[in-house]
A and B are shown apart, each in its own frame.
Chain A
């Protein structure tokens, strides 16, 4: 099968562009209709007749088929799945929905036009109605004879023709006159399109711009002075390539690209789903696995195989594991990322909660690897893409043995201990020791209860004392009504117990609570000596599921309470030609049914039409600011069409040929003239290609939340480069803002005032900040940190006033600015000019102009004078309860000159020159 390629003529290109532009501007529903009509006109030059399969069925699928064809019952006895049914008499009155050639007499048209149909939900657009009208007017034709029966899985030629389902071709690299200078194939493909429109590449960006762009793209950090100087000093012709290599070799590379992958995998350090949002203390193993894999440039096919089926690669028992096996198991954390509320959900809601875990996981798998919104087929056939409901459940069946709703395992049952046998023995011995102390405490508690009881009784009238004692000592069930009544009259005796003993301390001025706590602390101290048990969350199949794999049924309307026919494991039917005959492996595996192993191998065979396209597009998206397919998680009809389909295919095949190496892909893309262009706009290009669909310039991008925070830390000199391990905790401060810190609120939720020092952890990269779903770190959330519900397909970059306020007034912005000022004054000496020049280079990665230096010096002078006066004024100290947590830390007195320099640094941090990457 051949890819449908636009012919290289101006007319075709213009219409393709038009579709692209419309696609961006219009809502998704409009696009399908609009594109259909426009394409119809484009291909033949003159308008071709509309056909049912190509033009009408998508509209009916979207609006009508839910009631008229899909369910058990046909509303009004009308089935719209085939054209044939539309022109047949239906219902009691035997009316016809469509009378070919007579749109005005066709019931279908009048009903949608009047808005009577569809009765609920979105009405048809004017364009869709016009398309229907034209089709009926033209005779309501089909492209070919229709099948006699509606097949269970009905996919038409038009469905199969869709670009994303075609085999990946290896297109010939365009060769045109003047192209010999363009060595990089990427530039040939991009250049060919530019030439068609009569546009040139932008010139190469300056060195300063390039290193900043590369550093940001590969490490998520602004470049350091040393890195910039090294690049500037390198006069070799391949200085640029060598600079790229240095960043590729940085350990921060893995952190940056892990962040991208963790977005689409939906990484979080908490369960979500329920209000408790329980912390997942061991989720970080997966995060660390991803960082390590990317830094090692683990081939992506291997990377995917491990994440989908690493557990099935481990053959032995899950004890005394080797590092390689730990890695394989950690990889399956990919399938354990989504919100999971099953641990805290009552039995009556378990079915829903378990189903949600599976559905969300399928969403993550399909958006990350297939680039298809398969989740839309959970309840009914996909309205836009050829994904029958059945397909959804086929894919589910691949994962069913691992989930096994009948024998559900909570998170605690889905983790493997990394403790060795020797450590376990040691731990048991310590526990025995601690239990002895527990027993001592219990005994002492009994004695104290006895003591307090005696005192309480002494205060009672003599005649009731012994009766009360007897009643108290009589077990609840054996008490006589008289005894119960007596006790009720004397609540202070009645309620005396181990748990209320502390309350009597106040009565008798005793310290029983403290005494008992001391013993309890002793036990805790002993238990602390135990070797720490580390757990590894794992997705695998329990023996019962391997032996008898649970079946998967299609859920009617997606309702897990309403299972219908059983389905076997499989992938999208539309890709039947690529699929293995069976998802059951030929050889049985000891550790699983092997369904996921077969699936993973199939996805990474290099022949799957979606996987490698989706992966290279995602990388392009991150490097160029927009994907070749602008909707990186949706290659379906609701998504965008590729702007450069041949380039996408060439990259996908090249990627596979070069051994699925991500770093190779970076070298290829970043070595291109396309990547190295400047971002400067011109009126000419904006006129021809306003949204830069042709990649005729670089795109100006705002730093994402993490890059912004991390770069500020780097520039101020505070960045803690520690990698891996438990996340930096977050807590709520007195204002309800999420800040870094150990939660020390008391049981009543009030701040205890206790501050647990973070010892530099607070300066670690944002990737290591605890990603608690309900508590996104305030500073990051302001700059568009996504919510993981369940994952993030692509970041957004908003521009709102809270971001400005954060940069102007937040504790983080102020403290980083001050730290930078201190660094600059330390390193650049006392001269204002030198300080200014250094601040410029550190923050903006360029030299300040003379004009800028002079203005800054004037600024510093007047700002110092103002601040000298302001800092001399005593500042009213608010009460401790009111003080923001961060400010509670004693800060050293501020020197006016440093304070002034800090505001200059803050202005640089707040400026567009820093916030945006060219």
Chain B
């Protein structure tokens, strides 16, 4: 049988989905197919029709804020009194350094104060005043661990479940598993930072070996926002309109000389659909109609928080319109504070804190939080010892993949919980450890899937996000 389906009906359907270099919406051929269908992962038929998972799902969409570089858990999410006490003393345990030339064994207490917040009383650093206001809505995971080596591997582990390149990202899995609920927008959107791409670039939204229609679509915060979606600047508006009218005339005449050729009619219709998609994307990405109160909530009135806040608001608008998975990135390695953490960390926090917290509040007030998973976190944390031991202006912290924090909210996660902890120095996770595999298994569970059964046949082998490498559904953090 023809597995690549280059001529079969199956291929025809696969092709009919919106898969232009990663745009993942639906085609006009599926307009009448918007009824959800049960999932059948044995079939080799790929489309973007919405699908019903086997087990009752809690979540139907997800927004992930990926904080590349490794936010310092010791300075943001997990107070360590013992570390405070031993500030300046030598650390005696084993440590894996990334940059040994500037390493030290001198312990450094967090320079920032922690305080209890909300009814749950979770302690949060003063660097995150907005996050402090939403602790009652989130599950803070303090015992995260990947145990892998560097940024690249850590990012792959968190995003794709494995440490090597080439695997599909979470967003691709969800698109594959659930399809799309909109036909005019991509199912999976990556909102990049105008200051630069994250490390690993486009691999952050790759579909790996899944069919290419499950690739994420990178949407820039400025025009042109999507590949091939926006006209060139000088053609925008009237010029493209006139071109399309002229083209319409050409095609109409051609069709009249080819009566009965339905394919020609379908192509004429496909230009109309393309036009609708341009409008839909433009509308979804345009926040001018949002109220002043909403913009203020996201910090769009403040130059420091405006950019990230805008993208958070766009993420909400996309999810409202049926987009399955949205991921926001920060530029390069914003959180990679090897050096100068005392100046750098507060700046990184101010950039994202308000927008991230506003997203949770806004989703809640619109009744979307219950069905939308929100995630905030990076691929690692930081060490309790000083790197660049040369005074207040230069001190930093090196990588730590054995213990870090991140938070999740909505979509069936418990509200107002802090789960897991690292050792007394904030070095290695020791209690209620959640690995990237546990996290993925739990996520898929909330979307109604058994992570061992949501598979894709590759070379005759069923491949999964967690790849039979374990992966525990962390029941304790489920609402």
Contacts and interface: CB of A to CB of B under 8 A. Distances in A.
B97 A495 contact: yes
B167 A275 contact: yes
Chain B CB count within 10 A is highest, among A276, A504, A916, for A916
Interface string B166-185: 11000000000000000000
Given A489-B90, A798-B12, A735 B6 contact: no
A910 B16 contact: no
Interface residues of A, number: 108
B442 to A, nearest CB: 25
A809 B231 contact: yes
A805 B158 CA distance: 33
Contacts of A800: 15-18, 27-29, 270
A576 interface: no
Contact of A492 (B102, B192, B200, B220): B102
A258 interface: no
Nearest to A859: B246
B327 to A, nearest CB: 13
14 contacts: A488-B94, A491-B103, A633-B2, A681-B261, A735-B202, A736-B205, A778-B21, A802-B274, A806-B228, A809-B229, A870-B234, A899-B234, A911-B254, A912-B251
Chain A CB count within 10 A is highest, among B6, B29, B200, B238, for B6
Given A789-B4, A804-B267, A736 B215 contact: yes
B201 A734 contact: yes
B418 to A, nearest CB: 32
Contact of B101 (A367, A492, A778, A906): A492
Q: What are the 3 A-B residue pairs with the smallest beta carbon separation, nearest first?
A: A275-B166, A495-B100, A802-B20
Chain B CB count within 10 A is highest, among A490, A749, A903, for A749
B254 A866 contact: no
Interface in B84-105: 90, 94-95, 97, 99-105
Interface stretch (A192-200, A439-447, A540-548, A876-884): A876-884
Contacts of B3: 789-790
Given A788-B4, A802-B228, A879-B195, A796 B101 contact: no
B20 A805 contact: yes
Nearest to A810: B228
Contacts of B263: 700, 702, 797, 799, 916
A592 to B, nearest CB: 29
A770 to B, nearest CB: 17
B284 interface: no
A30 interface: no
Interface in B121-165: 151-152, 164-165
A801 B273 contact: yes
A553 interface: no
A42 interface: no
Interface stretch (A138-146, A290-298, A594-602, A779-787): A779-787
A814 B203 CA distance: 27
A496 interface: yes
Nearest to A809: B228
Chain A CB count within 10 A is highest, among B199, B230, B258, for B258
B55 interface: no
A614 B283 CA distance: 53
B21 A750 contact: no
A751 B197 contact: yes
Contacts of B196: 750, 881
B460 interface: yes
B101 A749 contact: no
Given A750-B332, A809-B232, A867-B239, A795 B247 contact: no
A375 B1 CA distance: 7
B153 to A, nearest CB: 12
A273 B459 CA distance: 7
A750 B103 contact: no
B342 interface: no
B166 A774 contact: yes
A503 B239 contact: no
Contacts of B110: none
B250 interface: yes
A507 interface: yes
A912 B1 contact: no
Contacts of A734: 197, 201-202, 218
A88 interface: no
A867 B15 CA distance: 36
B346 interface: no
A913 B254 contact: yes
Contacts of A679: 258
Nearest to A798: B15
Given A488-B105, A681-B258, A912-B251, 10 more contacts: A373-B1, A734-B218, A795-B6, A796-B15, A800-B16, A800-B28, A859-B242, A870-B233, A881-B197, A910-B247
A681 B259 contact: yes
A734 B339 CA distance: 28
A912 B254 contact: yes
A809 B230 contact: yes
Chain B interface bracket (under 10, 10 to 19, 20 to 34, 35 or more): 35 or more
Contacts of A233: none
A915 interface: yes
Contact of A907 (B95, B229, B250, B261): B250
A867 B234 contact: yes
Nearest to B20: A802
A375 to B, nearest CB: 7
A496 B461 CA distance: 44
Interface in A838-880: 852, 855-856, 859, 862-863, 866-867, 870-871, 875-876, 878-879
A416 interface: no
Interface stretch (B33-41, B206-214, B471-479): B206-214
B264 interface: yes
Given A492-B100, A794-B7, A875-B233, A781 B151 contact: no
A680 B259 CA distance: 8
Contacts of B52: none
B297 interface: no
Contact of A906 (B4, B243, B267): B243
Contacts of A790: 3-4
A796 B264 contact: no
A341 interface: yes
A232 interface: no
B227 interface: yes
B266 interface: yes
A804 B218 contact: no
A504 B101 contact: yes
A735 B22 contact: yes
A802 B261 CA distance: 21
A801 B18 contact: yes
B289 interface: no
Chain B CB count within 10 A is highest, among A341, A494, A808, for A808
A506 interface: yes
Contact of B12 (A488, A796, A805, A884): A796
A745 B6 contact: no
Interface in B17-55: 17-23, 27-29
A799 B232 CA distance: 23
Nearest to A495: B100
B21 A782 contact: yes
A274 interface: yes
Contacts of B249: 855
Contacts of A809: 224, 228-232
A732 interface: yes
A239 interface: no
A793 B1 CA distance: 10
B260 interface: yes
Contacts of A341: 459
A801 B460 contact: no
Nearest to B232: A814
Contact of A507 (B102, B218, B271, B460): B102
Interface string A542-576: 00000000000000000000000000000000000
A154 B313 CA distance: 68
Given A373-B1, A700-B261, A789-B3, A912 B267 contact: yes
